[in-house]
Amino acid sequence: MKMLSRMMTVLWAAAVIVAAELHCDLLTQHELNGKCCQKCPPGTSMSQLSTCTDPQCLQCEEDEYQDTYTTEKKCKRQPYCDPNKNFHVPEKTSKTKKSTCMCKLGFHCSSSECLTCVPHRPCEPGWEALIRGNQTHDTVCHKCPEGSFSNQTSWDSSCLTWTKCESGYVIGRSGSAQSDVVCEKNQRQHVAIVCVVLLLVIGILLMVAVKIWRSTRREGDTNEKGCGEACVRRDRDPPKEGLIASPTSDGDHEEATLPGVQTSLAESNGSGKPEENEDGLSEAALENLHLSDKGNYVTQENGKAEVLSRQESQSMTVTSEMSC
């Protein structure tokens, strides 16, 4: 075996020396019978009908490849990516490059040789993938920091920041490493607004009620005041009738003029006639009328007092009440 290896080394060295002497391109040419012959380019194989000066190159078939210049008669076979071992089957392979079997999404190689693929480690709720799994290594999980959460089990999950409640909303339930903040409408604010509105309505109603009460009371005071003045005026004012009915012999009444009623007021109005009120009595006559202790009217003229009869007094009283 060693002898054969030494012979191959010697032959290779000799070929190199000859090629160097022939100045052949080691990448694209090869030495044949002391000549520099062309190789087939990548993605092809050399036909048996090829000659040194005219090589016959054949295209590699499906799932085959050739990644260098060659004199080989066949292309190389692409590696088989077994889907049962969680490998991703490529849709199209290259004819000039060897394909690499890749693990499916969510899987990584079980060893450096990558003979099979195993699933990534999932991160539990409350944890996130600090380093996401890829083709060669597994996922590294990390606990969610304060103010963030994760509510799913995944190998590529990330922690999300807690929701900030908008204006008009309050935190109904606090957030945790596994759940988000729950926002609710601010019921207190609504209650406060309703209370303010109710207070305003009540205040307006009270103002209206007070105003109505004051108006009613003012009208009542006015009526009472008017009635009181009328009654006081009725009690204080003397009788205004200048004529008193006196009975006659046949039962009828005849009008009599009270003594002293006709008092001249010519000085006051500039005429010779006395000024009388609406009942026919002058102011001077009213001043001469007085009510006695027994309820009879008494007239006084020139220092003399004259008591009217009871019937005359009653007639004057009735007339006075009617005028009031």
Q: Which residue has the higher pLDDT, 312 or 35?
A: 35
State residue 53's pLDDT score. Answer: 83
Cα–Cα distance, 296 to 310 (Å, whole number)? 6
State residue 278's pLDDT score. Answer: 43
- Of 160-164, 176-180, 242-246, give the lowest mean pLDDT range: 242-246
Spatial CB neighbours of 116, under 8 Å, sequence gap ≥ 6: 85, 86, 109, 110
Q: Going from the N-terminus, what domains does the chain have, and what CATH number goes with each? A: 11-77 (2.10.50.10), 120-188 (2.10.50.10), 278-312 (no CATH)
Spatial CB neighbours of 230, under 8 Å, sequence gap ≥ 6: 324
Is residue 279 very low, low, confident or very high in pLDDT (cuts 50, 70, 90)?
very low
Cβ-count burial 260-288 (b if 16+ within 10 Å, e if not)? bbebebeeeeeeeebebeeeebbebbbeb
Cα–Cα distance, 88 to 103 (Å, whole number)? 5
Q: Which residue has the higher pLDDT, 295 or 38?
A: 38
Q: Is residue 103 classed exposed, middle or buried when 0-12, 13-18 and 19+ CB atoms within 10 A define those classes?
A: buried
This model's pTM is above 0.85: no
Cα–Cα distance, 324 to 289 (Å, whole number)? 17
Decide if 93 contacts 63 (C-beta within 8 A).
Answer: yes
Mean pLDDT taken over the chain: 74
State residue 103's pLDDT score. Answer: 94
The whole-number average pLDDT for the span 185-206 is 79
State residue 251's pLDDT score. Answer: 46
Element housing 256 (H / E): strand 253-257
Residue 246 in this model has a pLDDT that exceeds 80: no
Cα–Cα distance, 46 to 59 (Å, whole number)? 9
The whole-number average pLDDT for the span 13-25 is 62
Element housing 8 (H / E): helix 2-22
State residue 263's pLDDT score. Answer: 40
Q: Is residue 107 classed exposed, middle or buried when 0-12, 13-18 and 19+ CB atoms within 10 A define those classes?
A: buried
Residue 16 in this model has a pLDDT that exceeds 70: no
pLDDT tens-digit series, residues 113-160:
899 999 999 999 999 999 999 999 999 999 999 999 999 999 999 999
Per the document, the length of the chain is: 324
